[in-house]
Chains A and B, each alone.
Chain A
Amino acid sequence: MSDWVFLAVGVMLLIAGLLALYRIIRGPSILDRMIASDMLLTTIICALGAEMVYNGHTRSLPAMLVLASTAFLGSVVVARYVSRRTNS
């Protein structure tokens, strides 16, 4: 497999991460920031996977597993916080 495929994938994941970062910084509400940080985490998982394919190893799989199974906790906590604050 030629290198330009991996270069293209890396550039695309970089653009996605930068756009998510822009939304985290600029996002008008805290929910926009949480959506963008969720997406940034998914992009990081995808980047770990692409790096494993490029270098031909499987050492990052546990990190991907833990990230995928605990990524939702942050959003749930922030969402609970937002509804609690607006209720009272």
Chain B
Amino acid sequence: MILDSILDILTGVFLLLGGFLSVAAGVGLLRFPDAIARLHATTKPQILGLAFVLLAIALQERQLSTILLLIFLLIFQMITAPVSAHMIARAGYRGGIIAPHSLLVDELEQAIDAAPEFDDTEPGSE
């Protein structure tokens, strides 16, 4: 029974951590000045906050099938969340939504300058 109460306390702590990370992301979303800073603020809890909540579920449910499903869920989130963040940042850079003077280091511009010229209209897009 003492194990149960310890696991209950840990579950509460992990749930509170997940909720706190969500609130931190929300405050960052509200207060940060431009799109790429807001992206920075919101992509952390997309993985870590969800991982805390999933850990709380695993501590509470302690069954092999549930834990396997939770591992799958976390892996899916870890695969897909960086993809969407990368695509949004890339679209913002190429679309000019991210102001160039707000970047201290712009390695992508050097890479684009170093790359050979090519015709980037996709076939079939006309």
**A interface residues, Cβ below 8 angstroms from B:** 1-2, 5-6, 8-10, 12-13, 15-20, 22-23, 29, 31-32, 34-36, 38-39, 42-43, 45-46, 49-50, 52-53, 56, 58, 61, 64-65, 68-72, 74-76, 78-80, 82-87
Contacts and interface: CB of A to CB of B under 8 A. Distances in A.
A32 B80 contact: no
B47 to A, nearest CB: 9
B77 A68 contact: yes
A2 B9 CA distance: 9
22 contacts: A5-B15, A8-B19, A12-B16, A12-B20, A12-B22, A19-B23, A19-B26, A35-B35, A35-B42, A36-B38, A42-B45, A45-B53, A46-B18, A46-B49, A50-B19, A68-B50, A68-B76, A71-B84, A75-B88, A82-B92, A82-B97, A85-B95
A49 B56 contact: yes
Contacts, number: 173
B29 A1 contact: no
A49 B84 contact: no
B110 to A, nearest CB: 20
Contacts of A29: 35, 92, 97
A46 B19 contact: yes
B29 A46 contact: no
Given A42-B49, A75-B85, A80-B87, 11 more contacts: A8-B19, A10-B19, A12-B16, A12-B23, A39-B26, A49-B54, A65-B69, A68-B50, A72-B83, A86-B94, A87-B121
Contacts of B125: 84
